[in-house]
Amino acid sequence: MRLDPFYLIVDDADWLSRLLPQGVKLVQLRVKDRAEHDLRAQIATAREICARHGAQLVVNDYWRLAMEEGCDFVHLGQGDLDAADIPALRRAGVRIGVSTHDEAELGRAVSLSADYVALGPIYPTLLKQMDFAPQGLARVGAWKARIGETPLVAIGGLTPERAIAALAAGADSACVVTDILRNAEPEARAREWLSATQPWREREGFFEPDYALARVCPSPNHGARLRPVSSLVLHYTGMQTGEAALALLCNPRSEVSAHYVVEEDGRVLQLVPESRRAWHAGISYWAGETDMNSASIGIEVVHPGYDDPRPYPAAQIEATAALAKDICRRHAIPPERVLAHSDIAPGRKRDPGEFFPWEELARCGVGRVVEQNPALGATTVSLGDAGAKVASLQRDLAAYGYRVDQTGVYDAQTVQAVEAFQRHFRRAQVDGRADGETRVALARLVATLGERV
């Protein structure tokens, strides 16, 4: 059985004549504290409106009334399960969705052969006091791995942005109350939900992941690749949350994307097939190539960015290294072509930042680092200087791949290239001034070109 990826809960059947015309196809009637005749009327009304709009109705709690009113799907919490006559529901062909919050409840739902399993609250919810802490997205994937083909519903604190993240984490349907019913414009918000969940409805843009550990979260933002893959480019997302970054990268209006997103907890999502050109590099250059989108694979590492240079979590770096290693192996990308976004767009981009732990990737055989020696060479060349040292610096920068015109004068372009180089390879001081340590580090790297780690 497949569920629609957008699952709306309403607290009164009156909502249905407003929200079903927007295109909602899966709805739960969750009415609390009413007299039986009122409940029966609510269920009958909901059933009639849903039938008219071709929507699936699920009745919460009142399994007996639901059966009597000819409904075919109920939702039961763990307490409801104690009282419900499951064999009678099964005999009547009524499907059963079950709430779960922990392993024991999941075990119970599985042993009942629930028709779907709901996990919540994924995020903090305002709807009701919960005895369980937010479950988080990693648990969504763990639950899905446990229940296999049985549909998984994620619920609690969801918004369209978070719904994308929950579906990308492994949920089959994202369920919501507050974000729609308490919205100033519920109809418009329901349409936003429909549009955010559309790829999961039609499986539009889905593909086989190129990396076995990635889960697909398709972005429409890609085009034809015009060059063979020769580089790997690392970015940070520069946004407060992974959910916000994912929503942006999957939004056709943003016209940005990347092949992969690595979440803070180490989950890997693939947005664009590697055979396609993702839109991550922007105006950029490396070693004579100006179409870096065509010539590279892009990984976005979830991180708030330069203004909040907190350490990248270990699980995230471990996952990034494993992904990068797999990509480099499959595309024969040499270590010197594992690049920072800042390398290919100096002056314009600073990601993934001098706080990115390149040495941990290098320990896994990904990319290059160069030994640091602060005692080396006293002479610093900087903006405005000219002469042999500047010419040699510019030659080395260009030989390594940076865009630097051979002017012999330490100009603004040279400052930006040196700054980019330092950001990646000499992180202790990123100032665009080529001190001895910077120049020796660069020369050492140039000497390694073509070597394999």
Ligand X SMILES: Cc1ncsc1CCOP(=O)(O)O
Ligand Y SMILES: Cc1ncc(COP(=O)(O)OP(=O)(O)O)c(N)n1
The reply on whether position 109 binds ligand Y by CB under 6 A is: no
Which residue, 30 or 53, has its beta carbon nearer to ligand Y?
30
Closest CB to ligand Y among 125 and 293? 125
Residue closer to ligand X by CB (options 65, 130) is 130
Span of 117-125, 138-146, 384-392, 401-409 interacting with ligand X by CB under 6 A: 117-125
Q: Which helix H or strand E contains 300, and what residues bound it?
A: strand 296-301
Write down the least CB distance from residue 199 to ligand X, Å: 21
Per rule CB under 6 A, is residue 77 in the interface with ligand Y?
A: yes
According to DSSP H, which parts of 94-169 are helical? 103-111, 137-147, 160-169
**β-sheet with 296-301: strand ranges across:** 214-216, 268-270, 260-262, 296-301, 231-236, 338-340
Distance (Å, whole) CA 411 – CA 322: 39
Which listed residue (16, 114, 158, 299) binds ligand X by CB under 6 A?
158
CA gyration radius for the chain? Answer: 27
Shortest distance, CB of residue 264 to ligand X, whole angstroms?
22
Q: What are the DSSP calls for 191-206, one per residue?
A: HHHHHHHHHHHHTTT-
- Where residue 255 falls (left for φ over 0; alpha for ψ -120 to 50; beta otherwise) is left
CB atoms within 10 A of CB 43: 22
Token pair listed for 205 = 């843009």
25 lines the binding site for ligand Y (CB under 6 A): no
At 58, give phi and psi (nearest 5°): -120, 130
Tell me whether residue 125 or residue 320 sits nearer to ligand X (CB atom).
125
Does residue 105 bind ligand Y (CB under 6 A)? Answer: no
Say if residue 384 is exposed, middle or buried (CB neighbours under 10 Å; 0-12, 13-18, 19+).
exposed
Per-residue CA distances from 189 to 23, 278, 365, 401 (Å): 12, 29, 47, 48
Q: Which residue has its beta carbon closest to ligand Y?
A: 77
Rule CB under 6 A: say whether 5 interacts with ligand X.
Answer: no
Is there a contact between 351 and 236 (Cβ–Cβ < 8 Å)? yes
Phi then psi dihedrals of residue 54, to 5 deg: 65, 35
Q: How far is the CB of 165 from ligand X (least distance, A)?
A: 14
**Phi, psi for residue 221 in degrees, rounded to 5:** -90, 80
| Shortest spacing between CB 119 and ligand Y, in angstroms | 8
Rounded-to-integer distance, Cα 272 and Cα 327, Å: 14
Closer to ligand Y by Cβ: residue 23 or 120 = 120
Decide whether 56 or 178 has the Cβ nearer to ligand X.
178
| x/- track of binding to ligand X for residues 171-190 (CB under 6 A) | -----xxxx-----------
Which CB atom, from 27 or from 319, has the smaller least distance to ligand Y? 27
Residue 75 binds ligand Y, judged by CB under 6 A: yes
28 is a site residue for ligand Y (CB under 6 A): yes
Q: Decide whether 157 or 238 has the Cβ nearer to ligand X.
A: 157
Note whether 99 binds ligand Y by CB under 6 A. yes
How far apart (Å, rounded) are the C-alpha atoms in residues 232 and 298? 6
Least distance in Å: CB of 349 to ligand Y?
A: 42
How far apart are CB 180 and ligand X at their closest, in Å? 8
* Closest distance of CB 76 from ligand Y, Å: 6
Interacting partner of 28 out of ligand X, ligand Y, none (Cβ under 5 to 8 A depending on kind): ligand Y
Q: Which two tokens stand for residue 58?
A: 């699920």
DSSP string, 327-354: HHHHHT--GGGEEEHHHHSTTT--TT-T
Check residue 20 and report its DSSP letter.
G
Residue 278 interface partner, choices ligand X, ligand Y, none, CB cut-off 5-8 Å depending on type: none
Site string for ligand Y, 132-171 (x = CB under 6 A): ---------------------x-x----------------
Backbone angles phi, psi at 174, to 5 degrees: -115, 125
Where in 381-420 is the site for ligand Y (CB under 6 A)?
Answer: none
Structure token digits, residue 390:
């500047």
Binding residue for ligand Y (CB under 6 A) from 60, 125, 251, 293? 60
User: What is the rounded end-to-end Cα distance, in angstroms, of the chain?
Assistant: 49
Q: Does 160 bind ligand X (CB under 6 A)?
A: no
| Selected binder of ligand Y within 118, 258, 420, 442 (CB under 6 A) | 118
Residues that bind ligand Y (CB under 6 A): 28, 30, 60-61, 75, 77, 80, 97, 99, 118, 120, 128, 153, 155, 175
Residues that bind ligand X (CB under 6 A): 120-121, 125-127, 155-158, 176-179
